A = this chain, B = another copy of it.
């Protein structure tokens, strides 16, 4: 399906060397392996993670895993699912001893339009193995236990500018590798980052020591299968349910604000268990099995740079460290890797200018900055007296727009931000060549119709639609897999209204020099008729969505040949939604697109909106798309057309 990037044969030349096989390294490796790159992937551990470490997959990350076809493999391990967070505090009445439940929050309330409104809790090692199995299918095996001992990067060698020295951890073997890229995903103590002399900035001067314990318990505490934040006169604890009847407890052991703080302060498992027993009173807790226990100091750190030369990159914990409270570590790592993966592919496969690699650091560092400041805010939110249940319910159901700025609304705002952020749906990227804004070179009256609710740099919205060819009800946002292609969603309104606009769209896309035709597959004449997503170009996949009943759509009549070729990707926007009960085309209405006239939505390969363009008769739509893609692609677009 994918173009095979050309690379030198021989065992010492690779497209990329990836150091570290945790979530960030595995996500990057898995994407690039699927797209045909030659990868040297090493890890200094002899085996994948056996116990402990990260375990939270946020709702949006589950979307991403599904988009890669990996969700069912993850869910096969029967992870715990957290739908609500419970708060326990000392009672306000009586002697004030013990704890009582003072409130619960939905972890991902219904105002967030999530497919999977829960957090998935599963041992990191099981998640790593899902990626490792996929890598193996594509011929990549992680080389263990190997480590990196040095590297240089020199653009004077235009093809393989990076040289990397690798060594078996016991020193028995060495390799010198030539590569196009090097990625450091080795965690907080990154060798690559240290060699580049990139500093880590500590946003919050306070640092902490945390204890974390996984095990199987016997308890009468009623919320042991919920995520809980428990404050008591004996200290605080966080409860996270896990697969296989396990539970994880987080206990803050020390803070740099303590009088006797020492970053090496520690505690034994027995001490933490004794502490948990005191905190949970009047409930009892006994351990049947202790699977993992660790104490670690943690500070809020952020790497000042993610790359110096756009050849050697960093990602994941190598770039940002923070508390485990919001369960963001693995999720942020996944998104770092995915963001970099498609950009490297776009450059190496010949579609995009090298300059798009410059968007990796600002896009992802901005998210990390938000995460760190949020981590503080969230901690505060957790440690505050929780508001009454009615307030939380109001917040869960509220449409904050237009509400008066009262104290309650301040809470609603923080609460909504918190939920959006922790769910992963709050991540957004600022304006640049990829994310349209009024400052973008694509300047046209058809760009960004006023009504649209889609925001460039934010995720494309979820929508149920009916596939025309087989009447299957599907999730539109999942219909194009993570294949490295830009996604063109043609919302085509009513067939009778848009017939001419669709013909004009197709004919202008077909013109020599259009964004679409300029990147035609060299093998376009021999592509199988079963090829669903990339029949014409490796860089574009196309979906068409009519605001019409399925039975009224006839693909061969309602679509010009170029679009009809994507016949498996034609949909009827005919599903009822409680939130838009009167919509004729729910997806059109939800996204703020004209139900009659539609619009074209360009979605980046990672699922974030690039630009929205009105679907107009004549050449204006394709002209605008040429301008949009022309801002970062390798060819000059629209030339032929302007000569006509």
Interface residues of A (CB under 8 A from B): 72, 75-76, 80-84, 104, 118, 216, 218, 220, 222-226, 241, 245, 389, 466, 469-473, 529-530, 551, 554-556, 567-568, 576, 578
26 pairs across A/B with beta carbons < 8 Å? A72-B72, A72-B75, A82-B470, A82-B471, A83-B466, A83-B470, A83-B471, A83-B472, A83-B473, A104-B471, A104-B551, A118-B472, A216-B530, A222-B469, A222-B555, A222-B556, A223-B469, A224-B469, A225-B470, A225-B568, A226-B469, A241-B470, A245-B530, A389-B551, A576-B578, A578-B578
A470 touches B554 (CB 8 A): no
**A216 to B528 CA separation, bound complex (whole angstroms):** 12
**A82 to B472 CA separation, bound complex (whole angstroms):** 7
Given contacts A551-B104, A551-B389, contact A469 B530 (CB under 8 A): no
B551 touches A220 (CB 8 A): no
**Chain B CB within 10 A, most for which of A224, A530, A555:** A530
Q: A423 to chain B: closest CB distance in Å?
A: 15
Q: A517 to chain B: closest CB distance in Å?
A: 24
Tell me which residues across on chain B come within 8 A of A81, comparing CB atoms. 470, 472
A556 touches B220 (CB 8 A): yes
**A218 to B567 CA separation, bound complex (whole angstroms):** 13
Tell me which residues across on chain B come within 8 A of A530, comparing CB atoms. 216, 245
**A245 to B568 CA separation, bound complex (whole angstroms):** 11
Q: A468 to chain B: closest CB distance in Å?
A: 9
Tell me which residues across on chain B come within 8 A of A218, comparing CB atoms. 529
Known contacts A83-B473, A84-B471, A104-B551; 13 additional CB pairs below 8 A are A72-B72, A80-B470, A81-B470, A83-B466, A83-B470, A104-B471, A220-B556, A222-B556, A225-B470, A225-B568, A226-B470, A241-B470, A389-B551
Tell me which residues across on chain B come within 8 A of A118, comparing CB atoms. 472
**A84 to B471 CA separation, bound complex (whole angstroms):** 6
Tell me which residues across on chain B come within 8 A of A220, comparing CB atoms. 556
Closest residue of chain B to A530, judged by CB? B245
A72 touches B76 (CB 8 A): yes
B72 touches A225 (CB 8 A): no
Tell me which residues across on chain B come within 8 A of A471, comparing CB atoms. 82-84, 104, 226
Q: A80 to chain B: closest CB distance in Å?
A: 7
A225 touches B80 (CB 8 A): no
Tell me which residues across on chain B come within 8 A of A223, comparing CB atoms. 469
Tell me which residues across on chain B come within 8 A of A84, comparing CB atoms. 471
**A530 to B83 CA separation, bound complex (whole angstroms):** 21
Tell me which residues across on chain B come within 8 A of A75, comparing CB atoms. 72
Tell me which residues across on chain B come within 8 A of A567, comparing CB atoms. 222
Q: A75 to chain B: closest CB distance in Å?
A: 7
Q: A474 to chain B: closest CB distance in Å?
A: 10
Ranked nearest first, the 8 interchain pairs of A and B with the lowest CB-CB distance are: A225-B470, A84-B471, A83-B471, A225-B469, A81-B472, A245-B530, A218-B529, A83-B472
**A104 to B576 CA separation, bound complex (whole angstroms):** 20
**A22 to B470 CA separation, bound complex (whole angstroms):** 29
**A36 to B571 CA separation, bound complex (whole angstroms):** 49
**Chain B CB within 10 A, most for which of A81, A224, A567:** A81
Q: A496 to chain B: closest CB distance in Å?
A: 18
Q: A121 to chain B: closest CB distance in Å?
A: 11
Q: A285 to chain B: closest CB distance in Å?
A: 12
Closest residue of chain B to A225, judged by CB? B470
**A223 to B567 CA separation, bound complex (whole angstroms):** 11
B104 touches A554 (CB 8 A): no
**A83 to B470 CA separation, bound complex (whole angstroms):** 7
Q: A207 to chain B: closest CB distance in Å?
A: 33
Closest residue of chain B to A578, judged by CB? B578
Tell me which residues across on chain B come within 8 A of A469, comparing CB atoms. 222-226
Tell me which residues across on chain B come within 8 A of A225, comparing CB atoms. 469-470, 568
Tell me which residues across on chain B come within 8 A of A241, comparing CB atoms. 470
Q: A575 to chain B: closest CB distance in Å?
A: 12
Q: A310 to chain B: closest CB distance in Å?
A: 39
**A581 to B222 CA separation, bound complex (whole angstroms):** 31
**Chain B CB within 10 A, most for which of A75, A82, A551:** A551
**A82 to B554 CA separation, bound complex (whole angstroms):** 19
**A224 to B556 CA separation, bound complex (whole angstroms):** 14
**A265 to B466 CA separation, bound complex (whole angstroms):** 42
Tell me which residues across on chain B come within 8 A of A104, comparing CB atoms. 471, 551
**A555 to B221 CA separation, bound complex (whole angstroms):** 11
Tell me which residues across on chain B come within 8 A of A83, comparing CB atoms. 466, 470-473
Q: A437 to chain B: closest CB distance in Å?
A: 39
Closest residue of chain B to A389, judged by CB? B551
Closest residue of chain B to A551, judged by CB? B104
Closest residue of chain B to A78, judged by CB? B69
Q: A134 to chain B: closest CB distance in Å?
A: 14
Q: A552 to chain B: closest CB distance in Å?
A: 10
